[in-house]
Structure 1
Amino acid sequence: MSRTARISALKPFHIRSYRFQWPSDLLTSWAFEVETLVLGWYIMVETGSVLLLTIFASLQYVGTLIAPVFGMIGDRMGHRDLLAAMRFAYTALAATIMTLALTGHLAPLNVMIIVAIMGLIRPSDLGVRGALLADIMPAEQLVGAISLSRTTQDSARIAGALTGAGLLTVLGIGFVYVAIACLYLTAAVLMLCLARPAKSFGAVGHSKGTPGSALLRDLKEGIVHAWSGPGMRAALCVAFLANLTAFPLTNGLLPYVAREIFHTDQTGLGYLSASFAVGSLIGSITLSLVRGLPIARLLIGATLAWYAMLLVFVEIRTMPVAMACLVLAGMAQSMSMISAAVILIRTASAHLRGRVMGVRMMVIYGLPLGLLAAGSLIDLIGFSATGTLYAGAGLISMVAIALRWRADLWPVHAPANAR
């Protein structure tokens, strides 16, 4: 990598607030990943049920339906303050699991209840991050900043996959949760170190009428705005499709794949999860270095490549080959999801960004739906047939989306392809 490319990639760190947000997001993402891996393995081992595993994974996303409400709160009170409050809440919930585990009272039911509570809050974290980034970053640095921000999730998946399994084996779930709670607490404190963005949130607070009607009107305004432009509609459709048919295969179902398909333990699960994350990190870094890409075209091409890799992955029965396939799938996934986020953030009005990104998070509800359906289908027709059905349906649907909005996504000079 040339010195000029390195300087260009690190340019967002010239912004003081970004230097605090990035490590805060990194620590939060690390805690998310370790927590998901550890609890997923705990549920699989304690219950032995793939259906309960998919229910556990689905509970983490119950809050997607209220994500626009969190976006609206962020638009009113400030995205920085909302993120800090959310991360203090994660700390309290992690401390609860830590206490139950250390005192010997942890049980699958307790885990499910706490995960359901966290699932009301956690899905909105990523959307509020994006809205805060748009507040603090100049427009010309937004793609690079979002790509670098994405590396916090990708590196966390690697760290969580490789260290989570080892820590669980060596320390046990109680002491692993000591580390998780500390990560959340540090992330919350770092978020408080950000200066409040100079942009005013007052435009949201001027709604007339009773407080209840004003809140509903503000929420409706954000949802309508998110669905107003063809570029945004296409990006939201791709995000929903990916969560419904692609992410279940490499997210909630990986503990099942590791245990039942590759007959490996939590270390093997860590390798599989890390492979997907390594590919995703490569994709994020690549986009942070490359300038001037037609983002909407990239969205189409990367999503199609992602589904093609998944069609191969579900038929593989050799760990090294599966890991290589997951690396390629991770690269395509990263480029696809970053492209969708950039289209939404660029297009959204400044005072509505929180609600628009909340709608973006709301479409993640496709993931628990996909997971629950997959859990039942695997029991009926097996993993390979289910995976092929999901990836094939996703590939066909993506082609349909590209054709439906071709005039808005494919021309180089279309607004969605703005450089």
Structure 2
Amino acid sequence: MRSPLAGTFRSLTMRNFRLFAAGQLVSVAGTWMMVVAQDWLVLSLTGDSGTALGLVTALQFTPLLLLTLYAGGLADRLDKRRLLMAANLASGVLALLLGVLVLSGRAGLWHVCLFALGLGIVNAVEVPARMSFVSELVGADLLPNASALSAAYFNTARVAGPAVAGLMIGWFGTAAVMLLNAVSYLATVLALWAMRPAELHRDARRPSRAPVMDGIRHLAGRRDLLLPMVLVAVVGMLGLNFQLTLPLLAKTVFHADASAFGLLTTAFAAGSLLAAFVTTGRRGRPSAGLVIGSALGFGVLEFAAGLAPTYPAAVVLLLGTGFGSLYFAQAANHRIQLGSDPAYRGRILALYTLTLQGTTPLGALLTGALSERFGGRAGLLAGGTATFLAAVAVLLVQVRGRYAGAGGEGYEERRTRAVEKPLR
């Protein structure tokens, strides 16, 4: 009889996925170290300005808004493995250049803004290719498990990265963290290079052209995909600005040092990691109710974290908030990805990325302005409120649509009932 633990890690029986996960674990840890170092550098250069931090965050995510749909077409047309190798090499070079500049003592805010924009351009290409590449690594049957394990290693790195970064900044400064991040990208490049292309589960229907509008039409014609995508857009813009809200909470509310800031980020990531392992047991497409319910719970937890009276209370509440954020994101991702046609998957996931992260520039500017005017708690309180209200609105639309059709069920619910399996 197979143990539950073996079921949790069943995607790791695939050699290509093992390589990919190992490379990503190292690389993502470096990326999260870079996030902490970059945020700390911006606050140090600007006297703890929330507006400046919001500007840098907005610049890093603006390319996702502008380029991700085109990048989704590239992911559907081109060899994803080679595309990911090129993107990771480019990110490594950018991180290296910024680290050298900071080490020389010449870095100013405009330098950080410029490199944030450059990394954002690379990420706009890398994210939809990476997300859709997972299905090539393991095939459709193992996709939910592999996706959950991807979130697990991502959040394992998110736990370790900020904690190590907080210590390294105190000991060696932000430049050392940036240089280490530059080296970490090589882990993913080497893992991709070592894969066996013949073992990839590639769709024979790869198009020579992949018009963006075809993906948009596919999404627009699928109510079961469109509603969770709308919810993801609102939550992504206002509820997931933790790159901005956590350093402000640490430094302006609790007056914490770099190590204590790293602990807050680690607590949030630990909750996300727990949610990732919980979702490895998923074997089918999540229901609309699960997606909406997880958004409601996340909104309540984020609002509560914004009200945390003490630093220890904030650590505990951010643990729960991290769980809620990842559980919602995974539920929405699986509902959208497992419901889309494989021929459109790169473009649909590009749209998912656009709605989840591409709305961040506007959200970061709004959150930064709110925090500047009303204090470091304002971003979390506003994000929790917006998430909760958006989930309520989508729930009302879902209920109304369900009972508007014949037999009390909407068209898409009837059409997709046969392919949705019960979840545990």
- Shared fold, TM over 0.5: yes
Native 8 Å contact 2:248 2:376 kept in 1: no
Displacement of 1:301 in angstroms is: 1.6
State how many pairs are aligned: 407
Give 1:379 shift: 2.7
Partner residue, 1:210: none
Equivalent in 322, 327, 330 of residue 338 of structure 1: 330
User: C-alpha displacement at 1:253, in angstroms?
Assistant: 2.0
| 2:359 is equivalent to residue 356 of structure 1 | no
Query: CA distance change for structure 1 residues 343 and 51 in 2, over 3 Å: closer, same or farther?
Result: same
Q: Report the equivalent of 1:229.
A: 222
Judge conservation of contact 1:46–1:108 (CA < 8 Å) in 2.
yes
- Structure 1: stretches of 5+ with no match in the other structure: 208-214
Map residues 42-81 of structure 1 onto 2, 5 A cutoff: 42-48=41-47, 49-65=49-65, 66-81=67-82
* Alpha-carbon separation, structure 2, partners of 1:385 and 1:99: 35
AA aligned to 2:310 is T
Q: Is the 8 A contact 2:234 2:386 kept in 1?
A: no
Identity of aligned residues (%): 21
What letter matches 1:45 in structure 2?
S
Aligned counterparts of 1:52 and 1:193: Cα–Cα separation in 2: 41
One-letter code of the match for 2:59? Answer: L
What are the equivalent positions in structure 2 for 1:175-190 lying under 5 Å apart? 175-190=176-191
Cα distance in 2 between the residues matched to 1:320 and 1:198 = 46
Deviation at 1:97, TM superposition (A): 1.2
> 1:113 maps to which residue?
114
Question: Alpha-carbon deviation of 1:77?
Answer: 1.2
What CA deviation, in whole Å up to 9, does each residue of 1:360-417 have, x standing for no partner? 1111222221110122122333344554333223211111112212436999x84685
Task: Compute the TM-score of the two structures, normalised by the length of structure 2.
Answer: 0.90
Relative to structure 1, is the Cα distance of residues 322 and 12 closer, same or farther in structure 2, using a 3 angstrom cutoff?
A: same
Q: CA deviation at 1:11?
A: 0.8
Change (3 A) 1:301 1:120: same
Q: CA deviation at 1:161?
A: 1.4
Task: For residue 201 of structure 1, report the CA deviation from its aligned partner.
Answer: 5.9
- Structure 2, unmatched stretches of 5+, are 403-409
Return closer, same or farther for 1:287/1:390 CA change in 2, 3 Å cut-off: closer
1:199 is the counterpart of 2:202: yes
Q: What secondary structure sits across from 1:253 in the alignment?
A: helix
Contact 1:8 1:289 in 2 (8 A): yes
Deviation at 1:290, TM superposition (A): 5.1
CA distance in 2, matches of 1:162, 1:40: 14
Tell me how far apart the structure 2 counterparts of residues 257 and 32 of structure 1 sit (CA, whole Å).
21
Matched, 1:268 2:260: yes
Moved more, 263-272 or 222-231: 222-231
Cα pair 1:12 1:144 within 8 Å, conserved = yes
Counterpart for residue 15 of structure 1:
14
| Aligned partner of residue 141 in structure 2, secondary structure | helix
- CA distance change for structure 1 residues 227 and 156 in 2, over 3 Å: closer, same or farther? farther
In 2, Cα distance between equivalents of 1:74 and 1:100: 33
Task: Kindly indicate whether the alpha-carbon contact (under 8 Å) linking 1:261 and 1:317 is maintained by their aligned counterparts in 2.
Answer: no
Alignment RMSD = 2.3
What corresponds to 1:322 in structure 2?
314
AA aligned to 2:364 is: L
Provide the C-alpha distance between the structure 2 equivalents of 1:140 and 1:200, rounded to a whole number of angstroms: 14
**Does residue 405 of structure 1 match 2:406?**
no
> Given residue 46 of structure 1, which amino acid in structure 2 is its aligned partner?
L
CA distance in structure 2 between the aligned counterparts of 1:128 and 1:295, rounded to whole angstroms? 26
In structure 2, the CA distance between the partners of 1:6 and 1:198, relative to structure 1 (3 Å rule), is: closer
- Letter aligned with residue 239 of structure 2: A
Verify the 8 A CA contact 2:245 2:379 in the aligned structure 1: no
Scaled by the length of structure 1, the TM-score of the pair is 0.91
